[in-house]
Amino acid sequence: MKKAFKFAMLAAVLAMTLVTLAPQMSSAAPEMTLRFANQVPVDHTATKLMNQIAANVKERTNGRIEIVVYPANQLGDYTLVYEELIRGTIDMAGISIPSQFDPRLELTYINCFVRNFDEAKTVFAADGWLYKKMDELNTRLGVKLLGFQVEGFIGIGSTKPAVEPLNPDVAKGLLVRVPNMDVYKLGAEAMGYRTVTVPWAEVYTALQTGVADGVDGMTPTAAYTMLKDVLKYWYDLNYSVENFNYMMSQKTWDKLSKEDQAIFADECAKVTEMSIELAKQDQEKYLQLMRDAGIEVHTYKPEELTPIFTKVSGTWDKLADKFGKDLIDEFKSVYAPK
């Protein structure tokens, strides 16, 4: 009996010791810690999905790889972050892709090649033409593409009503702010808007003071969050899709084993598909919030948008000087309306 009692006590002490040590064992320092930067706030969907990637990678690598997420431009704006990816001083990023190193990187922002969320699932998939081409272009600069985050479809927000918004052959009577990219300028002007480039930090003031009558290049989510107090009208034209790119420095990628590379690729592919579903939900949610805030919201059936899509896609050839004729021809062969 005494021996049995001693064995029981020993087992109990051993069990308690293991329980005590378990947290210490699980909190052992990782073999690799990666910095993951973005440009959006802490509570933004992109930040939440990036944190999910970090958690899943840590779990699947048994804690060997830890990812620390730095939201809200903490490591610099997207142009600086991309430069740091090239250098290898930042490991990962979920950002808008800048084009100062290669203008062809604006490829994902070309208007009217994706027309609804169902198409987006195919277009932004890891086995699609767009992913392969963007990976090729990024790789030349020392950056590995891992996936996309679809934010939603953009429209036109304005302080004044647009004239015949569905007829691209009619001047809209609005001067709209566009991002400093040819793809947006050509698209807006093809729809009948006059355009002006205003620094992003000054957009709210520009609308408030009449420097611009409207804004192009924003999803309903972004427009409501940032401009709901100044916008009076929203035209949900769905002519372009806003997206972020998930990327890793090639220098960091090359340090990973094949097995760990596969884990990163898989987790980012999952987030790409998930982001499309979330973007679809957000699109409807924020259109309703706009209505609730007193903004006059105009939505349209797909067939009503056909004249716009036809006119805007007709501008693709004008991008040949910037993108190269061969790339535009290849793009058209994949995405031109059949």
User: Are residue 68 and residue 138 in the same domain, yes or no?
Assistant: yes
Q: What is the mean pLDDT of residues 87-92?
A: 98
Q: Tell me how far CA of residue 26 lies from CA of 31, 83, 225, 259, in angstroms.
A: 13, 35, 40, 21
Closest CA to 211 of 202, 222, 200, 220: 202
Give the whole-angstrom CA distance, residue 77 versus residue 39.
Answer: 6
Is it the case that residue 49 has pLDDT exceeding 50?
A: yes
User: Are residue 226 and residue 180 in the same domain, yes or no?
Assistant: yes
pTM of the model: 0.86
Closest CA to 145 of 217, 74, 97, 100: 97
Closest CA to 306 of 219, 252, 256, 238: 238
Q: Which of helix, strand or coil describes residue 196? A: strand
Instruction: Kindly state whether residue 294 falls inside one of the protein's structural domains.
Output: yes
Closest CA to 330 of 1, 110, 22, 19: 110
Instruction: Kindly state whether residue 316 falls inside one of the protein's structural domains.
Output: yes
Q: What is the pLDDT of residue 28?
A: 61
User: Are residue 117 and residue 185 in the same domain, yes or no?
Assistant: no
Instruction: Kindly state whether residue 18 falls inside one of the protein's structural domains.
Output: no
User: Are residue 278 and residue 288 in the same domain, yes or no?
Assistant: no
CA dihedral 79, 84, 85, 89 (to 10 degrees): -160
User: Are residue 62 and residue 101 in the same domain, yes or no?
Assistant: yes
Give the whole-angstrom CA distance, residue 14 versus residue 19.
Answer: 9
CB atoms within 10 A of CB 47: 20
**For residue 35, what are the domain limits?**
25-151+243-283
Instruction: Kindly state whether residue 126 falls inside one of the protein's structural domains.
Output: yes
Q: What is the pLDDT of residue 14?
A: 40
Question: Torsion-angle region of residue 145: left (phi > 0), alpha (psi -120 to 50) or beta?
Answer: beta
- Total domains in the chain come to 2
User: Are residue 32 and residue 175 in the same domain, yes or no?
Assistant: no
Q: What is the pLDDT of residue 80?
A: 96
Q: Which tens digits make up the pLDDT trace of 19-43? A: 333 333 345 689 999 999 999 889 8
Q: Which tens digits make up the pLDDT trace of 219-249? A: 999 899 889 999 999 999 999 999 999 999 9
Query: Where do we find the tokens 């994902």?
Result: 108
Q: What is the mean pLDDT of residues 58-71?
A: 97
User: Are residue 46 and residue 175 in the same domain, yes or no?
Assistant: no
Closest CA to 82 of 73, 67, 95: 95
Q: Which tens digits make up the pLDDT trace of 255-305? A: 999 999 999 999 999 999 999 999 999 999 999 999 999 999 999 999 999
334: tokens are 């994949």
Q: What is the pLDDT of residue 12?
A: 43
Give the chain's mean pLDDT: 91
The secondary structure element, H or E, covering residue 65 is: strand 65-70
Instruction: Return the DSSP state at 31.
Output: S
User: Are residue 259 and residue 313 in the same domain, yes or no?
Assistant: no
The secondary structure element, H or E, covering residue 176 is: strand 175-177
Helix and strand element counts for the chain (H, E): 13, 11
Query: Where do we find the tokens 């392969």?
Result: 132
Instruction: Kindly state whether residue 299 falls inside one of the protein's structural domains.
Output: yes
Instruction: Kindly state whether residue 326 falls inside one of the protein's structural domains.
Output: yes
Q: Tell me how far CA of residue 318 lies from CA of 110, 116, 321, 328, in angstroms.
A: 11, 24, 7, 9
Give the whole-angstrom CA distance, residue 222 versus residue 275.
Answer: 15
User: Are residue 298 and residue 277 in the same domain, yes or no?
Assistant: no
User: Are residue 56 and residue 198 in the same domain, yes or no?
Assistant: no
What's the CATH code of the domain at 29? 3.40.190.170
Is it the case that residue 181 has pLDDT exceeding 60?
A: yes
Instruction: Kindly state whether residue 17 falls inside one of the protein's structural domains.
Output: no
What does the chain come to in residues? Answer: 338
Instruction: Kindly state whether residue 211 falls inside one of the protein's structural domains.
Output: yes
User: Are residue 35 and residue 94 in the same domain, yes or no?
Assistant: yes
Closest CA to 245 of 272, 218, 220: 272
User: Are residue 85 and residue 147 in the same domain, yes or no?
Assistant: yes
Complete edge-to-edge strand list for the sheet that includes strand 155-158:
194-196, 175-177, 214-218, 155-158, 233-235, 296-298
Q: Which of helix, strand or coil describes residue 202? A: helix
